[in-house]
Amino acid sequence: MFLTISTTGAPERPATDLGHLLHKHPDRAQTFSTSYGTAHVLYPEASAERCTAALLLEVDAVALVRRGKGKGRGGAPDAALAQYVNDRPYAASSLLAVALSSVFSSAMKGSCRARPELPACPLPLRIEVPALPARGGADVVRALFEPLGWTVGAEPVALDTEFPEWGDSRYVSLVLEGEQRLADALRHLYVLLPVLDDAKHYWVSSDEVDKLLRAGEGWLPDHPEQKLITSRYLSRRWSLTRQAMERLELVRLAETDDSAVEEIDNAVDERTDSEEKPVPLAVLRRDAVVAALRDAGATRVLDLGCGQGQLVQALLKDTRFTEIVGMDVSMRALTVAARRLKLDRMGERQAERVRLVQGSLTYTDKRLKGYDAAVLSEVVEHLDLPRLPALEYAVFGSARPRTVIVTTPNVEYNVRWETLPAGHVRHGDHRFEWTREEFRTWAGTVAERHGYGVEFAPVGPDDPEVGPPTQMAVFTVTTENTSTVDAKEEKAA
């Protein structure tokens, strides 16, 4: 199993930079053992003008069978893999994808300690995979790689050159050329090689959805063949595929421009027209949330839909908050949050207090159980109303923190925004905005259904006629008994 990555140099940039990017020195051949055999990285050529790195994976077919990994879907032995003689040793498949991700893990993440500026630069790349099993043939290969900006060569490999009348095998010889960042190129291969092979060597479980979303960041949400990629990647497990597709859709929506939030929030500055410099609404909201968390005595806190991490940052400043988890569906928001918090340069003590995780609030998530409090600051209005019961169940039914703090715009106040045309919501991605009455009704029902009490508080100037710009609800558990909820979940699992 074989794959090469080549690049050419430019006057200011030698081709051998590829070695820095891959974290593998061009002068040395290196060997890594994987559970299915041995991976070698070597450079057939390495000059300032041209550099080629080759990844060769020697698959131990016997180990593959002995380890029981050669099982097909549903655990039944796969005819192709149950034998010692099969195509796995030479065909580029999920085994090669796994080897890529373990041998080149830093490169795939886009990190390069020696030359931190390199990963962001697109390079002229040429990638060759001589024997790529491709279900659907060359057309599918093109449909998958061309939308990503690759020029694709996909020549069918004859079954036997001695006997041309036998026709083509299911393999193509693949050549990709394009100006791409190396990390993107590796992530394309990591996902698309097994998609083309269409036979994973391991059992696909739900954490594959996370892997797919991580590797697909920045390209999969907009790929025209997203459905085919998702369903094949997840071995056609429909529930996982549906979940992945929904999350990709949410990512797409969440990544539509968020700047409008700030614009409108800043408009309050003009209104609270006092002598002192007015405080932006976003800051008032954060202060109100932090105060409510302190009042509740919370120390371990979830910030659900944390966006770009402003609240997480504020919480870190107060040492009473010993564990802070920010979750968001948008990888892009999380990347910005990580940068804002300087997660990679944080001291160990600080770093132990904070974690950012990707996930969707419309699915129950075991990682969210057992916290003192959860904050949903300006999040509920980003979900379609029919999805709200799913969020309600995930937060109040399953995660069940002692305290839940929800803030959302008060639509009545919109008439006070001079910059907002009548009848408009404050942000293009708001699916709805509630009146005070509507919010109270929703919150009251949720509280009752899940054994919480709820109190309301205004955030920002409380207008005698239309109320405050932001409304906040603080839920507190009254019934600890969650047996019905647990039973329901067990049944679902």
Stretch that binds ligand SAH, among 48-56, 181-189, 235-243, 375-383 (CB under 6 A): 375-383
* Gap between the Cα atoms of 392 and 361, Å rounded: 9
Q: Site for ligand SAH (CB under 6 A): which residue of 65, 196, 333, 399?
A: 333
Location of structure tokens 């962001």: 120
* Gap between the Cα atoms of 465 and 474, Å rounded: 23
Q: What is the nearest approach in angstroms of ligand SAH to the Cβ of residue 212? A: 17
Q: What is the nearest approach in angstroms of ligand SAH to the Cβ of residue 295? A: 19
Q: What is the nearest approach in angstroms of ligand SAH to the Cβ of residue 330? A: 4
Taking alpha carbons only, the member of 353, 385, 377, 359 closest to residue 470 is: 377
- Does position 128 interact with ligand SAH (CB under 6 A)? The reply is no
> What number of chain residues touch ligand SAH (CB under 6 A)?
18
* Gap between the Cα atoms of 59 and 75, Å rounded: 21
- Does position 254 interact with ligand SAH (CB under 6 A)? The reply is yes
Q: Site for ligand SAH (CB under 6 A): which residue of 362, 408, 410, 471?
A: 362
Taking alpha carbons only, the member of 239, 245, 191 closest to residue 215 is: 191
Task: Give whichever of 175 and 260 is closer to ligand SAH, judged by the CB atom.
Answer: 260
Q: Site for ligand SAH (CB under 6 A): which residue of 128, 198, 217, 328?
A: 328
Task: Give whichever of 219 and 363 is closer to ligand SAH, judged by the CB atom.
Answer: 363
Amino acid making up residue 246: E
- Does position 182 interact with ligand SAH (CB under 6 A)? The reply is no
DSSP letter string, 406-422: EEEEBGGGGGG-TTSPT
Task: Give whichever of 39 and 288 is closer to ligand SAH, judged by the CB atom.
Answer: 288
DSSP letter string, 202-257: S---THHHHHHHHHTTTTGGG-TTHHHHHHHHTTT-HHHHHHHHHHHHHHHHHTS-
Amino acid making up residue 417: W
- Contact indicator for 212, 195 with CB cutoff of 8 Å: no
Stretch that binds ligand SAH, among 200-208, 359-367, 433-441, 460-468 (CB under 6 A): 359-367
Encoded one letter per residue, x for contact with ligand SAH by CB under 6 A and - for no contact, window 231-250 reads -------------------x
Encoded one letter per residue, x for contact with ligand SAH by CB under 6 A and - for no contact, window 290-309 reads ---------------xxx--
- Contact indicator for 367, 446 with CB cutoff of 8 Å: no
- Kindly calculate the radius of gyration of the chain based on its CA atoms and give it in whole angstroms: 26
- Does position 361 interact with ligand SAH (CB under 6 A)? The reply is yes
- Does position 217 interact with ligand SAH (CB under 6 A)? The reply is no
Taking alpha carbons only, the member of 186, 183, 176, 57 closest to residue 127 is: 176
Stretch that binds ligand SAH, among 15-23, 207-215, 374-382, 447-455 (CB under 6 A): 374-382
Residues that bind ligand SAH (CB under 6 A): 250, 254, 305-307, 310, 328-330, 333, 360-362, 377-379, 382-383
